[in-house]
Amino acid sequence: MDLLIEGIRKAFFLLITGDPELRRIVWLSLQVSGTATLISMVIGISSGTALALTSFPGRNILVGLVNTGMGLPPVVVGVFVTIFIWRNGPLGFLGILYTPAAMILAQTIIAAPIVTGITLAAIQALPRNLYLQILALGATRMQAVWLLVREARLSLLAAVMAGFGGVISEVGASIMVGGNIKGYTRVLTTAAVMETSRGNFDLAISLGIILMLVAYLINFVLTRVQQAGRSR
């Protein structure tokens, strides 16, 4: 129990003194997970909407894959990405193993199905004829899709938050493809794991607390945007 209190005290201390090591770790966490979420948002919202509005042979199989992908174990993603991007793998020439780029890649693979799946459900939940009605008012296909996306904005923001939540907190893939290199690929989650294995529980707890604070702040901002979309 005193370990917990010690952890909280350490968290405050680190935050207030603006510990440089901590700053690097937090900033890198935000950069990596933020970029991955942004890319997933673009991929996810466009694929989810496309899947929702079209029909083609094999669509159901694809939807099934997306829904399964939402629950992909991050560690499995880490193993697969590692095998592809290590020096002697098919993508080895990129030389991105043990770089933040590899972490962004792995996290995007984890987050994209989440955003896609929730977007798919959100667009399908809109009234069936809304798309046709928008077209019948003289919209181009692009305009119609944009209006649908806007109409579903509450759910789509939830999708983005779900994607972000999934990757800011994941550690299995990040540690495998990033290598947890100090000052280079060490993020909040991987640092916490390392400190735990070293037995520095108070530090691990403080990192965990700071991680939750960061996640809460981001989600706070996103929630404000989302709830502003509610009509009066």
Partner 1 sequence: MRDGRTVLEIPDLQIHPGEIVSVIGPNGAGKTTLLLILSSVLRPTRGRVFYRGSPISYGRAGLQYRRQQAMVFQEPLLFNATVFDNVASGLKLRGLAKDTIRGLVMENLARFGISHLSGRSARNISGGEARRTSLARAMAIQPQVLFLDEPFAALDAPSRETLIEDLGRALKESGITAVIATHDRTEAMRLSTRMAVMDAGRILQIGDPDFIFKHPASEFVAGFVGIENLIPAHVVRAENGRLVVEAGGWQLEAEGRFPAGGTVTLCIRPEHLQIITPSTPGIQHVVNIFRGRIVKKTPLEHVTKVQIDCGFPLIALSTAPMDVTRTWSPGDTVSIAIPPACIHIIAR
Partner 2 sequence: MKSKLCIALGLLFCVFVAAGPLWCADPAKTIILATTTSTQDSGLLDELIPVFEKNTGFFVKTIAVGSGQAMMMGQKGEADVLLVHSPAAEKKFMAESYGLNQRLVMHNDFVLVGPSQDPAGVKAAGGAVPAFKAIAAGSALFLSRGDDSGTHAKEKTIWKAADLNPEGQSWYQQTGLGMGQTLNVASEKNGYTLTDRGTYLAVKKNLNLDILVEGDALLLNVYHVIEVNPAKWPKVNATGAKAFSGFMVGSEAQEMIRTFGKEKYGSPLFFPDADKKEGDLGK
Interface with partner 2 by CB under 8 A: which residues?
Answer: 31, 34-35, 38, 86-88, 92, 95, 97-101, 150, 179-182, 184, 194, 196-199, 201, 225, 228-229
Question: Which x/- pattern over 163-202 shows residues binding partner 1 (rule: CB under 8 A)?
Answer: ----------------------------------------
Looking at the Cβ atoms of 59 and 150, the one nearer to partner 2 is 150
Stretch that binds partner 1, among 44-52, 113-121, 137-145, 206-214 (CB under 8 A): 137-145
137 binds partner 1 (CB under 8 A): yes
Look at residue 222 and give the partner it binds from partner 2, partner 1, none, a contact being a CB closer than 5 to 8 Å depending on partner kind: none
225 binds partner 1 (CB under 8 A): no
Q: Which of 230, 226, 178, 222 is nearest to 37 (CA)?
A: 222
Stretch that binds partner 1, among 94-102, 128-136, 175-183, 210-218 (CB under 8 A): 128-136
149: its two tokens: 């996306």
The H-assigned helical ranges of the chain are 2-17, 20-53, 59-69, 74-85, 100-125, 130-135, 141-151, 153-168, 172-178, 188-198, 201-228
3-state secondary structure of 158: helix
57 binds partner 1 (CB under 8 A): no
Q: Which of 165, 169, 50, 173 is nearest to 116 (CA)?
A: 50
Tell the residue number behind the tokens 């299995």, with chain if given. 172
143 binds partner 1 (CB under 8 A): yes
From residue 29, how far is each of 104, 129, 142, 164 by CA, in Å? 10, 42, 34, 11
For CA atoms 172, 175, 86, 108, the dihedral sign is positive
Look at residue 164 and give the partner it binds from partner 1, partner 2, none, a contact being a CB closer than 5 to 8 Å depending on partner kind: none
The whole-angstrom separation of Cα 209 and Cα 15 is 11
Look at residue 138 and give the partner it binds from partner 2, partner 1, none, a contact being a CB closer than 5 to 8 Å depending on partner kind: partner 1
Shortest distance, CB of residue 117 to partner 1, whole angstroms?
22
Residues of the shown chain interacting with partner 1 in the complex, contacts defined by CB under 8 A: 127, 129-130, 132-133, 135-141, 143, 147, 150-151, 229, 231-232
